[in-house]
Amino acid sequence: MSTPQVVVHRDKDLMAKAAAARLLTRIVDAQSARGSASVVLTGGRNGNGLLAALAGSPARDAVDWSRLDLWWGDERFLPDGHPDRNVTQAREALLDAVPLDPKRVHPMPPSDGPYGADVEAAAEGYATELATAARPENHAPVPHFDVLLLGVGPDTHVASLFPEMPAVRETERTVVGVRGAPKPPPVRISLTLPAIRSANEVWLLAAGEDKARAAAIALSGPGEVQAPAAGAHGRRRTLWLLDSAAASQLPRGLYPPASP
């Protein structure tokens, strides 16, 4: 378990650009070291803001996009192409603009896909896909993730792991179906905390005053069942990327002054 590091930027736009630059560097470093890189994407305004910043970055061509594996931390269980699906929004923000290898892009199944409306079967199918991509040296039922991105909700949820719900209590499975989520749509697919914690680095993104209380709670050391974001950490690094509004309720000694 890695101790969380907190980086605070002046505003959400600067946060997105800085996070994009940081991610580009991690991807290039991983490709230089291993020949490929693997990233788990997140949705929401901060996740999509980061992807849009990547699309607009002059450094994006430093990445060999054909040697990048993309996975998702969670997904709204809706029909393929639905505008609320994370993969649909990611394609619009970045993916359709870069030369990815389609075989290395791994969206979670839609509700009109091979598993139909059975979200549990769809979750099991994604878990199988992850396990198939894992190698013995990963020592986990998921492949190596260089960076796993998570947006933090106002209630401290990450991915589709909501406080006190069964999914956040899962200790064995890597992917679960979620029913009765407290925000629409109620049916989702999500990585579990064990899968999230297999990542080399976990980055948690939060911007805006509505995320300030969640950041303060999660970084104060509560239980992960009550505050799922508190249970999200990487093997080597856990990085909280905040804007000044989201950091406004944190103790000032917890982070350096906001970046210019």
| 211 pLDDT more than 80 | yes
Give the residue carrying structure tokens 């209590």.
169
pLDDT value at position 155?
A: 97
pLDDT value at position 254?
A: 66
| 139 pLDDT more than 60 | yes
pLDDT value at position 260?
A: 38
Query: Residue 9: helix, strand or coil by DSSP?
Result: strand
Half-sphere exposure of 89 (CA within 13 A, CB side): 20
* Residues sharing a CB contact under 8 Å with residue 118, sequence separation 6 or more, in sequence order: none
pLDDT value at position 258?
A: 46
| 88 pLDDT more than 80 | yes
Under the banding of pLDDT at 50, 70 and 90, the label for residue 83 is very high
173 C-beta neighbours (distance < 10 Å), count:
16
pLDDT in tens, 183-204: 999 999 999 999 999 999 999 9
Strands 74-76 and 147-151: unpaired
Q: Within the chain, what is the greatest distance between any pair of CA atoms?
A: 51
Q: pTM of the full predicted structure?
A: 0.96
Encoded tokens for 112: 């009109």
pLDDT value at position 256?
A: 58
pLDDT value at position 259?
A: 43
User: Average of pLDDT values for 133-156?
Assistant: 94
pLDDT value at position 42?
A: 98
Q: Domains plus CATH for the chain?
A: 4-254 (3.40.50.1360)
User: Average of pLDDT values for 43-68?
Assistant: 96
pLDDT value at position 140?
A: 85
Under the banding of pLDDT at 50, 70 and 90, the label for residue 222 is confident
20 and 54 Cβ atoms separated by less than 8 Å: yes
| 36 pLDDT more than 90 | yes
| 1 pLDDT more than 90 | no
pLDDT in tens, 98-133: 999 999 999 999 999 999 999 999 999 999 999 999
| 153 pLDDT more than 70 | yes
Spatial distance between the Cα atoms of 260 and 197, rounded to a whole number of angstroms? 31
pLDDT value at position 250?
A: 93
Query: Residue 133: helix, strand or coil by DSSP?
Result: helix
Rounded to the nearest angstrom, the gap between the alpha carbon of residue 105 and the centroid of all alpha carbons in its chain is 15
